[in-house]
Chains A and B, each alone.
Chain A
Amino acid sequence: MNRKQFLRNSLLSAGALATTGVAKAVIDNNIDELKPLEILGFNHIPNTKSKLMANTVLHKAETRGHANHGWLKSHHTFSFANYYNPERMHFGVLRVLNDDTVESGMGFGTHPHDNMEIISIPLEGDLEHKDSMGNVATIRQGDVQVMSAGTGIYHSEYNRNKDQLVKFLQIWVFPNKRNVTPRYDQITLKSAEEKNKLVQILSPNADDDGVWIHQNAWFHMGNLEAGFQTPYTFKGGAGNGVYVFVLDGDVTVENQSLNKRDGFGIWNTDKIQIKANTNARVLLMEVPMSI
């Protein structure tokens, strides 16, 4: 698949599946979990507040797919599980951006993965992880966890807190190489709370700051004070795009105003300007726009 087609598929996929018989299929859940997920059905929401420009795409927070399973509430930026929207399949190699809230004592039972780079970023609470590689770990705010699923792994994730929700981001990136040996890593970001700096939390390089993955991708987090502005220069060259996800507050990116949990993708450029309109936290995900 060439780059032009990949971009078209990821951003412009036209065609209403609802017109085909396929859409009529009952959609079952596809997450192995502690408690069975109830069937929520087809969830193709209109993108009334999405804006696709020549080299940008805007996903307002409220236009994301939403699933409420009681113990799990999730907002999906891109098609995931019961939420299928052909216009929102991925941003380049960024395939999943789930904004999950898990009730205390609940979680995802043991389930498999393969061929995916999986990054988890806790925003509140403690999340316990166990996997088939023998890793048992707890990640909390300020940590970043990464798994290269490669040829296949199993893992579980639970909220072990008795009286606190766990909120975390689940981010899946297509790998640049299939069938790699599975691996797990997690780090605590010493500089995560540092103000007015874009802190690198992920790169393709094992000896660079943050965790690393099998992809030409760089992630940065910024804890910005109102009025602060900073440029971000792309690390990976012209073929990369940046997806900005606002964790808190209001920011402006390249003249686009963004609010909490909005997403904004931009490509065909090598530098963007970010300004905090209030105290804000942002996550920048720079990824190749083609596989």
Chain B
Amino acid sequence: MNPKIKVLVVGRHPEIMQTVLNLINKTEDWVAEGALSDETAIELYHQRRFDVVLIGGGVEEESEAKLRAIFTFQNPLIRIIQHYGGGSGLLFAEIKSALLKQAEGKNTLQD
């Protein structure tokens, strides 16, 4: 059995975060954890080895830049993507595209 794909979701909107987490966790082979603050996100990132980081709505540009720098420094192959749409419709395509690029050996900086 393949290990589950681990997704870290960073957002600021608790209800949207819960929706996104529910959607990901309902998908077999995927598991997600969420962080509503930069501090929690960094702490979780240091504790686990995530495959994909989803930057959701409300995350300020400054925070996003900081998180990208920290996450990429720790794991150059991490896929960090911006999530659009609040969970409905686009979530799976975003994650699958990220995993496809990861499988091709591309990191976020090679987009």
Contact = CB atoms under 8 A, between A and B. Distances in A.
Interface string B44-80: 0000000000001111110000000000000000000
B22 to A, nearest CB: 9
A174 interface: yes
A79 interface: yes
A217 to B, nearest CB: 15
Interface string B66-101: 000000000000000011111111111100110110
Interface string A74-118: 000001111010100100000110000000000000011111100
B19 A115 contact: no
Contacts, number: 125
Contacts of A24: 29
B28 interface: yes
A140 B6 CA distance: 43
A53 interface: no
A100 B38 CA distance: 38
A116 B27 contact: no
Contacts of A1: 111
Contact of B19 (A15, A82, A111, A174): A111
B36 interface: no
Contact of B88 (A9, A22, A32, A115): A32
Q: Which of B16, B90, B97, B99 has the most CB of A within 10 A?
A: B90
Contacts of B103: 20, 22
Contacts of B56: 114
Contacts of B87: 30, 111-113
B89 A179 contact: no
B21 interface: no
Interface of A is mostly: loop
A81 B89 contact: yes
A185 interface: no
A114 B16 contact: yes
B100 A151 contact: no
Interface of A: 1, 5, 9, 13, 15, 17, 20-28, 30-32, 79-82, 84, 86, 89, 95-96, 111-116, 149-154, 172, 174, 178-179
24 contacts: A9-B97, A17-B96, A25-B5, A25-B27, A28-B23, A30-B89, A32-B88, A80-B89, A89-B93, A89-B97, A111-B19, A113-B85, A114-B84, A115-B57, A116-B84, A116-B85, A116-B86, A151-B58, A152-B13, A152-B58, A178-B57, A178-B82, A179-B57, A179-B58
Interface of B: 2, 5, 12-13, 15-16, 19, 23, 26-30, 56-61, 82-93, 96-97, 99-100, 103-104, 111
